[in-house]
Amino acid sequence: GLSTGFLGLGAMGYPMAAHLARQGQASGGAAYVWNRTAEKAERHARQYGSLAASLAEAAQVDVLFTCLPTSAEVSELIGRLRPHLRPGTFWVDCTSGHPEAAQRQRAELAELGVSFLDAPVSGGTGGAEAGTLTVMLGGPEEEVEAVRPALAFGGKVVRVGETGAGFAVKAVNNVLLAANLWAAGEGLSVLARRGVNLGAALEVINASSGRSNASENLIGQRVLTREFPLTFALGLLAKDADIALDVALSAKASVPVLAQVAALYRAAAHSVGAEHDHSAALQLLERMNAQEIT
């Protein structure tokens, strides 16, 4: 089987790497893990039978995965791994990164004979645990096909174009998530101020054409309950909206609504706190309206 390395055992990486460990055990391929805070890698090894490794050891694999906050941390790791990488390795970056960074990183790694593919994922921590993530890949078709068997955490795997296209699609998906969440929050704020029961309102909207993942899942489970459980940080969603806006600007697209959404989530991250769950963006809206969405 293919040997794999996974760098970055965060909310997504930890459960994603568990599927690589399981697949490695079934196929006889070693699954190495590395994390900046090493204790998490040791816990992963005890829990799933992966191999906690140094960065240099983790670099000696067929397919090296990263899942870090932004492209900046990926570039930092490319720099640290430079002396250890072997020609023929695939570097599959599952970070929700920046398309322009992907192009630079692919060129930098190509000098070492390493193939960089952008491969961001959607489906959240639940999809990562279930191994049903959607993976959107950018890069040459034959390289995408070469890594496809290694994507043990994937449900739907789609090549969306050349290098950077995966990151562009991911950024657009997430700015749509942000827009839908904010818009549903505005709608429910209006109804709350008018004295309508929001449980009843959501029941109707979710059986009607105004529904979205935000109305069907996020608002009922995270906002009305006041729990705002942390699975995906607000700062990361604000980062994704900014990437979508960068992509729009470099494509010279006119996107007034998406630009507004990026500004609102940047404000929410400053105002509510970037480390809170993304659903807590609606706490800024609640302040704007002096009205809890509950």
Binding site for ligand NDP (CB under 6 A): 8-13, 35-37, 40, 67-69, 73, 76, 95-96, 121-122, 124-125, 231-232, 236
Which residue's CB is nearer to ligand NDP, number 121 or number 293?
Answer: 121
Nearest C-alpha neighbor of 41 from the set 66, 13, 62: 13
Please count the CA atoms within 13 angstroms of the CA of 15 that sit on its side-chain side: 17
Which two structure tokens, joined as six digits, stand for 175?
Answer: 């700015």
- Can you list the alpha helix ranges (DSSP code H) found in the chain? 13-27, 38-48, 55-58, 71-81, 99-110, 124-130, 141-147, 165-193, 198-205, 213, 234-250, 256-268, 282-289
What is the 3 state secondary structure string of 102-143? HHHHHHHHHCCCCEEEECCEECHHHHHHHCCEEEEEECCHHH
| 266 contact partners, CB below 8 Å, separation of at least 6 | 238, 241, 242
We find the least distance from the C-beta atom of residue 291 to ligand NDP, in angstroms, to be 28
Q: Which is nearer to ligand NDP, 73 or 246 (CB)?
A: 73
| CB of 163 vs ligand NDP, minimal distance in Å | 17
Q: C-beta of 62: minimal distance to ligand NDP in Å?
A: 22
Smallest gap from Cβ 97 to ligand NDP, in A, equals 7
Q: Taking the complex as a whole, how short is the minimal distance between the CB of residue 280 and ligand NDP, in angstroms?
A: 14
Closest CB to ligand NDP among residues 76, 141: 76
> Residue 230: helix, strand or coil by DSSP?
coil
CB 228 within 8 A of CB 234: no
Q: How far apart are CA 112 and CA 271, in angstroms?
A: 43
Q: How many residues does the chain have?
A: 294
- Least separation in angstroms between residue 33's CB and ligand NDP is 10
Smallest distance, Å, CB 14 to ligand NDP? 8
CB closer to ligand NDP, 72 vs 288: 72
Is the Cα dihedral 244, 248, 249, 254 positive or negative?
negative
Residue nearest to ligand NDP (CB): 10
Q: In terms of CB distance, is 139 or 205 closer to ligand NDP?
A: 139
Beta carbon nearer to ligand NDP, 165 or 198: 165
Token pair 């007034």 in the structure block, residue:
256
